[in-house]
A and B are shown apart, each in its own frame.
Chain A
Amino acid sequence: MRDIKRIPGSEDELWIPRAAEQKQERKSGGGDGESSSESGKGEQKVAKKGQELKEEMDALIDEIDEVLEENAEEFVKNYVQRGGE
């Protein structure tokens, strides 16, 4: 019997979004019953200021800049797989 009690390397905190990040700006699309009508959601989205959207996208791209593989050209060229299934 192996004596490892947890999955090695799975630092659980990595998986759990920080509280601030759990906030979502709008409810899930369709479904849930308690969420507002479809048209309500549409208006909410349209009403969202362009500036706000741009800031959101900027925040994402700033972070992408930090994590995107360097030497993209080399990297994608070397990514070769065997066919599977």
Chain B
Amino acid sequence: MAIRKVMGTEIEYGITVKNDRDFDPISSCVLLVNSYREEHSAQILWDYDQENPLADARGFQVEGEKYTPNQQENIARNKTLVNGARYYVDHAHPEYSCPEVTNARDLVIHEKAGERVVEASRREANRVLPAGTQMLLYKNNSDRKGNSYGSHENYLMDRRTSFKQIAEHLMPFFVTRQIYCGAGKVGSENRSRPCVYQLSQRADFFETEVALDTMVKRPIINTRDEPHADREKYRRLHVIVGDSNMSEFTIYLRNGVTSLILAMIEDGALNRDLALRDPVRSIKDVSHDPSCRGEIELENGRRMTPVQIQAEFLEAAQNYASQHELDEITRDVLAKWEYVLEALARDPMELAREIDWVIKKSIIEGFIERKGLDWGSPQVQMLDLQYHDLRPDRGLYALAERQGRVERIVSEEEILHAIHNPPEDTRAYFRGGCLRRYAQEVFGVNWDSISFGIGDEPIKRVLMAEPLKGSKQHVEDLFEASPTAAELVRNLRS
């Protein structure tokens, strides 16, 4: 039986300062992240001891320097939040890694809460910038000049499922899921062939099938093997092929369908031969075809449209659903997936309320028609960028949402709540709870550990190797019985 698909996303945001000739992304990121203040914040280290981004899922360790900043730099670049998230500076981008959740609906809530955190700190940062300048943040993945930054999904998987098996089934799934996961992009880049509009922000950047890299020669399937949990039992599938999505419906479908497919792989429920002849080429061909009707070639010589390939996955999933007890959210995801594939087969533009790339395309087409512009005009490029603008009063997705033009999955109240509260059914609850209660004694944090510095005693590290342990149900009584960090540590020992 498949294990519970604990999941989360890591989103890197585009950052710029308008009217600043000397704009420096790194210092702007440090300012941004440090402008976020919480009631329970303290100087807490991110615990790099626990990290190993150079382990490869194919069973080896890659040579390379492990990044470990000094203590001061560490604190300046890393914030762990009371909702269990990590908000930090990654290279030249601010990044928000949401807390671990167990379903696609909570994922939407927490990814959206992340946007609000970044926007709140942006506004605060702007108070200290010189008059006439303004920091701006974009939840997208490209500057349209060949530079891309990521949007990564993570899914907990059973270590017993071989990586080879995972990669085999995921390849055709990832190449085609962009028909309902793409965030849309005007034009092409990275030496990809010219087009006016494409489904995905990221497709142009994938140059190889399977590899460990994330910054150069990006692979469709990433092999980073860093489970942030018990490595004997789990792997964490690190998905780098996705776009940063604005639409709640799109985020919900992206994580909901992908987690279902992964559960099916664990249960051996996928046995269709959908291997592609040339995935790296096909991912671009699919992205460059807004009709979604172009065929791609399979290894066995068949030719299928991306909608047909997804329909094969859907059919397998429906069979799987008839034989397994699936939760209500997964059933809802399945129904929405079917609805979307049917609409894509008829006319993708029917999804102008649901799917990011279609919402964006319909806005741009309306604008072009009204203004008599063409796809190459600077205003059209501006619309593309501004769709992802985090400002509630200037972002075009935000505008479409305000006008009731897009479908929503979660409520405003749930998003606001998630800014200050962790999910209750994973170890994020323990992490967030410790920060809320004992911030001054928390010394360092990582996904699978939290350490305490109490008085002059040696640092004590609490390991959290089980992502589902540390939930409200597990630790509520422990917190109640531990008014101080010293008592918590004592109670954990007894």
How near does chain B come to A39, taking the closest CB pair, in angstroms? Answer: 10
Report Cα–Cα, A38/B338, bound state, in Å: 10
* Nearest chain A residue, comparing its CB with the CB of B343: A29
Docked-complex contact B392 and A31, CB < 8 angstroms: no
30 CB-based A-B contacts, threshold 8 Å: A2-B37, A4-B37, A7-B36, A7-B38, A8-B37, A8-B124, A9-B124, A14-B393, A17-B404, A17-B412, A28-B249, A28-B409, A29-B343, A29-B354, A32-B335, A57-B366, A57-B370, A60-B399, A64-B399, A76-B144, A76-B381, A79-B385, A81-B142, A82-B92, A83-B148, A84-B12, A84-B149, A84-B215, A85-B152, A85-B214
Q: How far is the CB of A31 from chain B (nearest CB, A)?
A: 4
Sort chain B's interface into a size bin.
35 or more
Q: How far is the CA of A32 from the CA of B38 in the complex (A)?
A: 36
- Distance from A51 Cβ to chain B, minimum over Cβ atoms (Å): 14
Identify A63's interface contact among B148, B370, B399, CB under 8 A.
B399
A23 to B333, CA, bound (A): 23
Whether the pair B340, A10 counts as a contact (CB closer than 8 A) is no
- Name the one of A22, A67, A78 contacting B394, with C-beta atoms under 8 angstroms: A67
> Within residues 8 to 66 of chain A, which ones have a CB less than 8 A from any CB in chain B?
8-10, 12, 14-17, 21-26, 28-33, 38, 45, 56-61, 63-64
Count chain A residues whose beta carbon lies closer than 8 angstroms to a beta carbon of B: 50
Which of A21, A25, A30, A78 is the one whose CB lies under 8 Å from B336?
Answer: A30
Residues of A contacting B215 in the complex (Cβ-Cβ under 8 angstroms): 83-85
Closest 4 CB pairs of A and B: A30-B339, A84-B149, A9-B123, A73-B378
Sample of 6 more A-B contacts, CB < 8 Å, known A29-B339, A76-B144: A21-B403, A29-B354, A61-B367, A63-B399, A83-B147, A85-B148
Docked pose: A44 CA to B237 CA in angstroms: 41
A25 to chain B, nearest CB (A): 7
Partner of B399 from A8, A58, A67 at Cβ < 8 Å: A67
With A2-B38, A15-B416, A64-B399 given, is the CB distance from A78 to B404 under 8 Å? no
CA distance A38 to B337 in the complex (A): 13
Given A9-B123, A21-B403, A76-B378, CB of A85 within 8 Å of CB of B150: yes
Whether the pair B335, A30 counts as a contact (CB closer than 8 A) is yes
Complex CA–CA separation, A22 to B59 (angstroms) = 51
In B160-211, the 8 Å CB interface with A consists of none
Contact yes or no, A15 B404, CB < 8 A: no
B35-64 near A? 1/0 per residue, CB < 8 Å: 111111110000000000000000000000
Residue from A15, A63, A68 in contact with B392 in the complex, judged by beta carbons closer than 8 Å: A15
Contact check, B25 vs A8: say whether CB atoms are below 8 A apart.
no
A17 touches B407 (CB 8 A): no
Instruction: Find residues 12-48 in chain B having any chain A CB closer than 8 Å to their own CB.
Output: 12, 14-16, 18, 25, 35-42
User: In the complex, are the beta carbons of B339 and A84 less than 8 A apart?
Assistant: no
Contact call A82/B25, Cβ cutoff below 8 A: yes
Residues from chain B with a CB closer than 8 A to the CB of A79 are 14, 16, 143-144, 385
Q: Which of B124, B367, B416 contacts A64 (CB 8 A)?
A: B367
Chain B: CB-nearest residue to A61 = B370
Binding site for A on B (CB under 8 A): 12, 14-16, 18, 25, 35-42, 90-93, 116-117, 119-121, 123-124, 127, 142-145, 147-150, 152, 214-216, 218, 240, 249, 332-333, 335-340, 342-343, 350-351, 353-354, 363, 366-367, 370, 378-379, 381-383, 385-386, 392-394, 396, 399-405, 407-409, 412, 415-416, 419, 439-440
Knowing A64-B396, A76-B382, say if A81 contacts B403 (CB, 8 Å). Answer: no
Tell me the complex Cα distance, A39–B12, Å.
39
CB-CB under 8 A from A75, the residues of chain B are: 18, 378, 382, 385
CB distance from B217 to the nearest CB of A (A): 12
Would B41 and A14 count as touching, CB distance under 8 A? no
Contacts of A60 in B (CB 8 A): 363, 366, 399-400, 403, 405
Distance in angstroms between the alpha carbons of A69 and B388 in the assembled complex:
13
Cα–Cα distance between A73 and B403 once the two chains are bound (Å): 27
Question: Within the assembled complex, what's the spacing in Å between the Cα atoms of A58 and B41?
Answer: 46
A25 to B392, CA, bound (A): 21
Q: How far is the CA of A4 from the CA of B420 in the complex (A)?
A: 13
Q: Is the CB–CB distance between B149 and A83 below 8 Å?
A: yes
- The reply to whether B402 and A17 contact each other, CB–CB distance below 8 Å, is yes
Name A32's closest neighbour in chain B (CB-CB).
B332
CB distance from B344 to the nearest CB of A (A): 11
User: Which residues does chain B contribute within 8 Å of A22, judged by CB atoms?
Assistant: 404
